[in-house]
């Protein structure tokens, strides 16, 4: 069988890791797996940096076109990042008939955790009942630090930036977009339909306060940013969303801390499966890229590019996503109210009128001459629309101050 020649474009954090793994494993891939792969070309803007990597006999260049235009290259790995030049590279490589890793996308969701492979291959005999993801290391690091140190959001974000756990512009992470993109990919794979990210309700962690963290602890919960995917039997629309959730301390996801990621899947046959690991970083992410290289090489060897189809959903078949208001959940609410008689009864009445059952109430005492006190309420299962109606009615009362905090609860 002819050599399967690989061209890597972009040898930064992840690309360097791919070069290192290929240097270590190529003999095993060739001799034990019978896959004649070789890293034949590497391109990066910085040619000097390439010379410090274990590139073997690969031809080095500072021009991506050298990789794409080489007729001998079978597989192009795009690891430049961004969506302008990287997109051009991917499209040009596809036009030249190359296999492209980025279109194979194991590293895109959960870095080193094999979440795509698990869904596409290992769970193929299941109806996937639900997926819960903690899939953004920056958010999980910030929430863990806030929980452990009782710190507020802003200083914790600044410290995360200083330590390199948050980008200089952290918006995509802390506002939930990154978790949303990854959750939309998983939802598309699971439900055999295109999940349009723009229709996914997404809320990040920027409004989570130290008070919420303390209340969660008092109640026996931990706050996590979750990507949630679930569909009730018989329902057409799917609950796909990203939001901060109070997870019970006994829940397996409550102990996923720091920059670690986790994907909790439940299949009707297999039951729950937890993937836990590094969602980013040089070698973990490179590990996922190399697993894609081997997939492609096996496809080439078998002569069947549909051996395991890359996508088994179609763009024409769009998933119907539940609006946030249709979602059913338990809720945590933090009101700021006047410290006077009758307030609790008024609040309870608004919930009662909408058939929402209150599970617990915490009414903190006023101190330091402050007349406004937090009232913390948890509910039993309720429809979010009913809950938001009740909150709007309570916020309209003269005894309520500021915006009410609403957080979903998962037991
Ligand atoms: N890092 C992670 O943990 C991680 C995890 C999951 C997914 N990813 C994804 O993996 C991809 C790569 O991420 P990364 O962290 O490795 O990025 P990175 O460290 O910034 O590496 C990108 C490399 O590409 C080079 N480059 C930029 N423009 C180029 C061009 N026109 N031609 C050739 N080389 C060019 C860069 O050079 P300069 O530095 O000189 O610009 C840099 O060496 C991204 O899509 C990222 O989202 C990363």
Q: Is the per-residue pLDDT at 146 higher than 90?
A: yes
Torsion over CA: 156, 410, 343, 362 (sign): negative
pLDDT in tens, 26-68: 999 999 999 999 999 999 999 999 999 999 999 999 999 999 9
- Superfamily assignment of 4-103+282-302 in CATH? NAD(P)-binding Rossmann-like Domain (3.40.50.720)
**How many angstroms is it from 245 CA to the middle of ligand 1?**
32
End-to-end CA, the chain: 54
Superfamily of domain covering 115-278? Dihydrodipicolinate Reductase; domain 2 (3.30.360.10)
Largest pairwise CA distance in the chain: 83
Nearest-atom index, ligand 1, CA of 16: 16
C-alpha of residue 346 to centroid of ligand 1, in Å: 56
Name the class of domain 325-410.
alpha beta
Looking from the CA of residue 10, the nearest atom of ligand 1 is 24
pLDDT level of residue 233 (50, 70, 90 thresholds): confident
Confidence of residue 313 (pLDDT cuts 50, 70, 90): low
Partners of 133 in the beta sheet? 227, 263
Domain ranges of the chain: 4-103+282-302, 115-278, 325-410
pLDDT at position 370 is 74
Q: Whole-angstrom Cα distance, residue 272 to residue 274?
A: 7
DSSP 8-state code for residue 385: H
- Dist. CA 23–CA 3, nearest whole Å: 16
Q: What is the pLDDT of residue 312?
A: 60
- What amino acid positions are annotated as catalytic residues? 182
**Residue among 18, 41, 51, 80 to mutate when testing ligand 1 (max atoms within 8 A of CB):** 80
Q: Ligand 1 within 6 A of 81 CB?
A: yes
CA of residue 121 to ligand 1 center, whole Å: 28
Tokens for 56? 């073997």
Please answer whether residues 294 and 162 qualify as being in contact, where contact means their C-beta atoms are separated by less than 8 angstroms. no
C-alpha torsion 359→363→364→367, nearest 10: 170
CB 178 within 8 A of CB 193: no
């Amino acid at each position: 069988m002819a050599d399967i020649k690989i061209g890597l474009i972009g040898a930064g954090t992840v690309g360097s890791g791919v070069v290192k793994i290929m240097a270590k494993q190529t003999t095993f891939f060739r001799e034990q797996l019978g896959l004649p792969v070789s890293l034949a070309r590497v391109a990066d803007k910085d040619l000097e940096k390439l010379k410090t990597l274990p590139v073997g006999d690969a031809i080095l260049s500072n021009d991506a076109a050298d990789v794409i235009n080489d007729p001998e290259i079978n597989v192009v790995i795009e690891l430049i990042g961004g969506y302008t030049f990287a997109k051009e590279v991917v499209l040009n490589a596809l036009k030249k008939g190359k296999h492209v890793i980025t279109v194979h996308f194991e590293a895109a969701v959960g870095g080193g955790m094999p979440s795509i492979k698990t869904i596409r291959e290992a769970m193929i005999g299941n109806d996937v009942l639900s997926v819960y993801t903690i899939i953004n290391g920056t958010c999980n690091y910030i929430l863990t630090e806030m929980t452990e140190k009782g710190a507020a959001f802003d200083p914790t974000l600044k410290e995360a930036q200083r330590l390199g756990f948050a980008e200089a512009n952290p918006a995509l992470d802390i506002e939930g977009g990154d978790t949303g993109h990854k959750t939309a990919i998983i939802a598309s794979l699971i439900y055999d339909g295109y999940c349009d990210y723009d229709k996914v309700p997404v809320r990040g962690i920027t409004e989570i306060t130290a008070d919420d963290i303390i209340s969660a602890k008092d109640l026996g919960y931990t706050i996590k940013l979750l990507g949630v995917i679930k569909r009730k039997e018989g329902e057409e629309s799917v609950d796909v969303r990203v939001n901060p959730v109070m997870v019970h301390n006994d829940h397996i996801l409550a102990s996923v801390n720091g920059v670690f990621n986790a994907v909790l899947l439940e299949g009707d046959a297999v039951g729950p499966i937890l993937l836990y690991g590094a969602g980013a970083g040089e070698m973990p992410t490179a590990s996922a890229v190399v697993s894609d290289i081997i997939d492609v090489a096996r496809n080439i060897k078998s002569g069947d590019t549909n051996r395991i189809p890359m996508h088994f959903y179609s763009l024409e078949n769009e998933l119907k996503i539940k609006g946030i208001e249709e979602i059913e959940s338990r809720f945590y609410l933090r009101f700021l109210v006047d410290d006077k008689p009758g307030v609790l009864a008024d609040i309870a009445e608004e919930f009662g009128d909408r058939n929402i059952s209150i599970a617990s109430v915490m009414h903190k005492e006023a101190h330091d001459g402050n007349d406004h006190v937090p009232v913390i309420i948890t509910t039993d299962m309720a429809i979010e629309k009913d809950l938001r109606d009740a909150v709007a009615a309570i916020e309209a009362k003269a005894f309520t101050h500021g915006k009410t905090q609403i957080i979903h609860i998962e037991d």
